[in-house]
Amino acid sequence: MSLFGMYYGDDNHANMSICFKPISDQLKTFKEITIGGKLYPVNLHLNGDYKFICSALGHTGAASKFPCIKCVVKTMEGRKCRLWSDYDNSECFHRSTIVAKPEDNNFSFTLEKIFDVEEDNVHFPFLHILMGIFQRLFKQLKVYLVELDKNGIDGRLIYDIEDNEYYDQPVFNFEDTLAGDFDDDDYDVFGQNLDDSSSQIDIDEAPTTFLDQMNQNLKKINAKASRFWQTFSGNNVSKILEKLDQLFMDLDKSEKMRLFRHVFEALRDVKRKAGAETLSKEGQKEAVESITAFRKALTNPLLEFTMQPKAHFLMNHMPEQLELYASMNFFSEQPIESMHASINKDMFRVSSFNELDKLYISW
């Protein structure tokens, strides 16, 4: 049974308390249901993007001191992100198993719980996890490409700046395309192609830098960035992950670049095991193995990647979800995400171009 509803406003705790508290109170008494003359117990499950889940459970969110709703891991040390290479799996244990300092007893559960759902029935949203990890990886790849274009491999410039105009930043601005780690649902879903809300990357000149080469590769993949949100949609993330040979064409020039590719390949392999279906025992084993391979690739010390809550959810808690439900997508997020196309097109928007001489405001 699915409960479906729409409401105005943000999915922060204050607004959700107003919208959902009456429903939550009714659900507390909904323990059994009669079907065909037989009485069945009712189990409540919670699924949605992570911001929604945190608000529903009274957690302060992914940016809090304890960002995970299931364990006490910390992804920040002070105000700095920790390196994955410094992380140990022994840090991931349930908050009920330790004695903490009095001020830490709530482990970032500081708000009133809206829905009373058993912890095992709270499902991590694979689509949003995948999108968040991909966006972070792509931003880090862009930073590395800029570094190579400025300093070259081993400190040697790659291009003859006397013969080629050298750009500190490419004509096509990756910062706009790869903006942010989103906990909101600013993505269309796998298999959905929204040509009317996307813009194709347009680069016709021969690449003169690594970043230009990446732009050219994306154009050949026909990957599109959302016109309004300036980020890749779920459909295009899937397209890019399935065409990694094209993505990294003429870019495998350093060991670190090859390690980047290995991480993307491992993420692709995880995605392939994450359909909205019940996996066989062998399928579950293969899914866990793909997650283990992704962990190994992501935590390679040479990459110096910093910890990210969504990557932690995948590597440490998705195997638990597989063991319980034989699926990383027990409740498919696609029906929820498909609504954004119809809702977002009617929203009030302001958009602009990068170049000052082409600055427009669209209403």
Asked if 115 and 135 sit in the same domain, the reply is no
Asked if 154 and 271 sit in the same domain, the reply is yes
Of the chain, the percentage scoring pLDDT greater than 70 comes to 70
Whether the per-residue pLDDT at 295 is higher than 90: the answer is yes
Residue by residue, DSSP assigns 39-106 as: EEE----B-S-HHHHHHHHT---TTSSS--SSS---SEETTEEPBGGG--GGG---GGGS---GGGTT
Q: Cα–Cα distances in Å, from 46 out to 125, 331, 339?
A: 10, 9, 19
Is 338 among the domain residues?
yes
Cα separation, 307 vs 286, in Å, equals: 25
Of 92, 121, 150, which residue is a domain's last?
121
Residue numbers of the domain that contains 257: 126-344
Whether the per-residue pLDDT at 2 is higher than 90: the answer is no
Categorize the per-residue pLDDT at 154 as very low, low, confident or very high, splitting at 50, 70 and 90.
low
Is 358 among the domain residues?
no
- The number of folded domains in the chain is 2
Which of 122, 131, 129, 189 has its CA nearest to residue 335? 189
Is 263 among the domain residues?
yes
Asked if 248 and 230 sit in the same domain, the reply is yes
pLDDT digits (tens, 9 = 90+) for 307-360: 999 999 999 999 999 999 999 988 877 666 666 555 555 554 443 344 444 433
Cα separation, 235 vs 21, in Å, equals: 34
Between 193 and 341, name the one with better pLDDT. 341
pLDDT digits (tens, 9 = 90+) for 235-270: 788 899 999 999 999 998 899 999 999 999 999 999
Asked if 131 and 117 sit in the same domain, the reply is no
Asked if 305 and 165 sit in the same domain, the reply is yes
Which helix (H) or strand (E) segment holds residue 208: the answer is none
- Find the mean pLDDT for residues 8-32: 87
CA contacts within 13 A on the Cβ side of 137: 27
Categorize the per-residue pLDDT at 178 as very low, low, confident or very high, splitting at 50, 70 and 90.
very low
Asked if 257 and 135 sit in the same domain, the reply is yes
pLDDT of residue 95: 76
pLDDT of residue 160: 36
Asked if 153 and 104 sit in the same domain, the reply is no
Categorize the per-residue pLDDT at 104 as very low, low, confident or very high, splitting at 50, 70 and 90.
low
Is 361 among the domain residues?
no
pLDDT digits (tens, 9 = 90+) for 203-229: 456 678 999 999 899 989 988 755 444
- Find the mean pLDDT for residues 32-38: 91
pLDDT of residue 270: 98
Q: Scanning the structure block, which residue is given the tokens 């809702």?
A: 343
Angle in degrees, 0-180, between the axes of helices 210-221 and 234-241, rounded to the nearest 10: 110
All residues at 6 or more sequence positions from 338 whose CB lies less than 8 Å from its CB, including other chains: 188, 189, 192
Is 3 among the domain residues?
no
Asked if 21 and 162 sit in the same domain, the reply is no
Cα separation, 135 vs 231, in Å, equals: 8
pLDDT of residue 260: 97
Asked if 145 and 75 sit in the same domain, the reply is no
pLDDT of residue 176: 34
Asked if 147 and 233 sit in the same domain, the reply is yes
Helix, strand, coil in percent for the chain, rounding step 5: 45, 5, 45
Asked if 155 and 289 sit in the same domain, the reply is yes
Cα separation, 206 vs 202, in Å, equals: 12
* Strand locations in the chain (E): 32-35, 38-41, 76-77, 80-81, 198-200, 224-226
Asked if 70 and 93 sit in the same domain, the reply is yes
